[in-house]
Amino acid sequence: MREAWRSPRKDGTAEAAAELTAAALAALSHGDHDAFRERTSALAAHADVHGWAQSVDRCLAGRLHRAVTTAWERGWQPADVVRYTARSRSARHARLATDAVAAEMRGYSAATVDERWHEQLADLDARVWWGDDPDYADAWCAREDAGRRTFVACTAELVHLLESLPRLARIGPPPGSARREVPRHQARDVDQRMLGRVRALLAKAESTEFPEEAEALSARAQELIARHSIDSALLDAESGDVAGPAGCRVPVDNPYDAPKAVLLTVVADANHCRAVWHRELGFSTVLGFPADLAAVEILFTSLLVQATSAMVHAGPRRDARGRSRTRSFRHAFLNAYAARIGERLQDAAGGVAERAAAEREAAGAGGKDPLPVLAARDGAVDRVVETMFPNLAKGRAGSVSNVEGWAAGRAAADLASLNGRSEVTGARRPV
């Protein structure tokens, strides 16, 4: 028998609101959706009771504030929270999460917030747009064209989601921590002008209809990325001004998330980084030095765009009986694409480093040899991975059952030129 939630007394509205909110969250935890609807409807009702709506709003805001704080303590960052909310609930919940993050971040001095957090907040457009906090519920309802019951239910669902977040390995200081000293040339590690040039080249490579032009554009972008990584590594080694590996999280979305995660892994490996996939959360943690992390994000995004375009262009597939084989074809296509790209990236990355070493020796340049410097950076990243993920399980994507898709994927990877040749043969290391 369900409880009959009575109208709250004029006195004790705060206690009644807290009790009913807790009951609504408990119903959600137990999967009792009927009880959840009843309790959120009761929270949204009783407009005739003085102070009831304000008590409910304060209670929900307090629970949401504590849930966001808990997310930071568990290693989550603003972009992680909003992205996971959109994946698990809806775009409306994600907008509410963005507002909750903006409200929470008002409590921290800008000097105690990591620069990467500032960048994420700017990308999310996380800002306080609603005026005074007591007016937020009404402002939210107006923006979403929704009623008060929807606001209460959406907020309770977000609180429940955030309170159940798993703990993640921390990849940066939480807000409120003292910011570490920035090495003298760290701004150079992630050269925004260089990244802008790479993005422009890859955007043209993705949009052109001419394979030869895409080849040349992709080759130039790869040269910029590889050369910048080597220059940054050498400068670190020669100056002794080493900040150590950092981390970022990269979305890996459905459909076909497994082969997409493999593609990110091979891109990371070739660029002196390591990727750890959190399948149930929809992202990978990528660890490496700042310049290399930036390259991985840009290159993975571009290659995924090129792979998706080629896959869609290949069209749907059916077997002899007319049954759809499109899903298995595309799964095999992306797996093969990732495997072949991994082979080619390893060859390209190794070639650039070897040429840099040869050029340095031929010119009689002093200083560090880039090959052992890069190997040392790889070792530093591996040690960080072992520390952060001591129980990491290594594995491969699922099996592939569509031979046609596999062949088409490898062919598409060969067209995604990385070094200016129309075709690449041989491989240093299979993936």
> What does the pLDDT read at residue 26?
97
The DSSP element (H or E) to which 362 belongs, if any, is: helix 326-362
Which of 344 and 78 is assigned the larger pLDDT? 78
Q: Check residue 142 and give its pLDDT.
A: 97
pLDDT confidence of residue 410: 62
Kindly tell me if the per-residue pLDDT of 11 is higher than 70: no
pLDDT at 159 exceeding the cut of 50: yes
More confident residue, 187 or 57: 57
State the DSSP H helix or E strand holding residue 284, giving kind and residue range, or none if neither: strand 283-288
- pLDDT confidence of 37, banded at 50, 70, 90? very high
- The answer, yes or no, to whether residue 85 has pLDDT greater than 90, is yes
Q: What is the gyration radius of the CA atoms in the chain, in angstroms?
A: 26
**What is the mean predicted confidence (pLDDT) over 357-364?**
71
Lowest mean pLDDT among 81-85, 94-98, 230-234: 230-234
Specify the higher pLDDT residue, 173 or 323.
Answer: 173
SS3 179: coil
Which residue would you say has higher pLDDT here, 177 or 118? 118
* Nearest residue to 117 via CA among 179, 167, 160, 166: 179
Q: What is the pTM of this model?
A: 0.82
**Cα-flanking dihedrals φ and ψ of residue 78, to 5°?**
-55, -50
How far is the C-alpha of 428 from the C-alpha of 37, rounded, in Å? 59
Give the whole-angstrom CA distance, residue 152 versus residue 185. Answer: 49
pLDDT at 287 over 90: yes
pLDDT band at 305 (very low <50, low <70, confident <90, very high): confident
Name which residue leads in pLDDT, 414 or 347. 347
For the chain, what is the mean pLDDT? 83
Tell me the average pLDDT across 32-61.
Answer: 92
* Cα torsion angle, 67, 72, 76, 80, sign: positive
Phi, psi dihedral angles at 324 (to 5 degrees): -65, 135
pLDDT at 327 over 90: no
393-396 long-range CB contacts below 8 Å, 24 or more apart? 396/262
Is pLDDT at 15 greater than 50 in this prediction? yes
Q: Report the pLDDT value the prediction gives residue 307, as an integer from 0 to 100.
A: 84
Mean pLDDT of 153-171: 97
Helix (H, G, I), strand (E, B) or coil at 287: strand
Residue 204: pLDDT band with limits 50, 70, 90: confident
Task: Say what the pLDDT of residue 261 is.
Answer: 95
CA distances 196 to 88, 169, 193, 203, 334, Å, are: 33, 30, 5, 10, 27
Residue 188 has pLDDT above 70, yes or no: no
Contact 16, 9 (CB under 8 A): yes
Per-residue pLDDT tens over the stretch 370-411: 888 888 899 999 999 999 999 887 765 555 555 555 556 666
Q: Report the sign of the C-alpha dihedral through residues 401, 340, 269, 122, in that order.
A: negative
What is the Cα–Cα distance from 25 to 32, expressed in whole angstroms? Answer: 10
Which of these ranges, 45-49, 295-299, 367-371, has the smallest mean pLDDT?
A: 367-371
CA distance 2 to 240: 68
**Range ranked top by mean pLDDT from 172-181, 183-192, 362-371:** 172-181
pLDDT at residue 353, rounded to an integer: 75
pLDDT at 372 (0 to 100) = 85
In 3-state terms the chain splits into helix, strand, coil percentages (rounded to 5) of 65, 5, 30
Answer whether residue 218 shows pLDDT above 50.
Answer: yes
Query: Can you give the pLDDT at residue 419?
Result: 38
pLDDT at 369: 79
Query: Closest by alpha carbon to 171, among 115, 249, 101?
Result: 249
Q: Omega of the bond prior to 78 within 30 degrees of 0, cis?
A: no
- Crossing angle of helices 257-270 and 326-362, in 10° steps, is 0
